[in-house]
Amino acid sequence: MNPDPDNKPFITLETDWFGEAGPDPAFRVEMGDDAWLFHVRVNKPPLGDPGAAAGEFHEGLWRYDVAEWFVAHRNTGRYMEWNLAPNGAWWAMLFSAPRRRAGVLPDLQGVRTESAITDDGWEAVLHVPRAILANALGAGVLTHNACFVLGVPRQHFSWVNFPVKEPDFHLPGYFRALPQ
């Protein structure tokens, strides 16, 4: 599975929220010609949501192994959360402020996923049409964070280091630009 024509490198998250080693979850985010791609890899067999159908929209994925991509508009504070399960099930929500659902989701037509699960881990890709983020967040500078919630006991991994003690990914003021 390699939807990235430029072979952009993955960013590996070596320790969890509390500095503990984990299964080295990794991600890359990039904007393609017609879609944003959120591509993840985890070196550990998944704990998947038994009620989530492969490739389908399903709320509550965060209760099991999941990769999360947050995208925020730098000036408005509006952001979207995207969840991606090992089997390609996905979920999205638009927020007007931290943990405040905006009320109406944008049209999510055209979102699709790919996934592969092996004995050693899982890999998945979320394809989000560019128009969805443009319509939901507006024009301007976007900032990002990629997170993983994995295993039992739960480990929380975040690309952005937040200045809070307990895991909380809903702090869009700390999201950052993607590496070039």
| pLDDT tens per residue across span 132-148 | 999 999 888 899 999 99
What is the reported pLDDT for 131? Answer: 94
Q: How confident is the model at residue 179 (pLDDT cuts 50, 70, 90)?
A: confident
Residue ranges covered by each domain of the chain: 16-157
User: Taking CA 112 as the corner, what is the angle to CA 107 and CA 118, rounded to the nearest 5 degrees?
Assistant: 150
Q: What is the pLDDT of residue 5?
A: 54
Is the predicted pLDDT of residue 93 greater than 90, yes or no?
Answer: yes
Average pLDDT, the chain: 94
Confidence band, pLDDT 50/70/90 cuts, at residue 2? low
Domain 16-157 - what CATH class?
mainly beta
Neighbouring C-alpha atoms within 13 Å toward the C-beta of 79: 26
Average pLDDT on 121-141 reads: 94
Q: Could you report the per-residue pLDDT of 18-39, keeping only the tens digit for each?
A: 999 999 999 999 998 899 999 9
pLDDT value of residue 103: 84
pLDDT of residue 94 exceeding 60, the answer is yes
- pLDDT tens digits, one per residue of 169-178: 999 999 999 9
Who's near 178: CB < 8 A, 6+ residues apart?
A: 29, 30, 144
Q: What is the mean pLDDT of residues 147-165?
A: 96
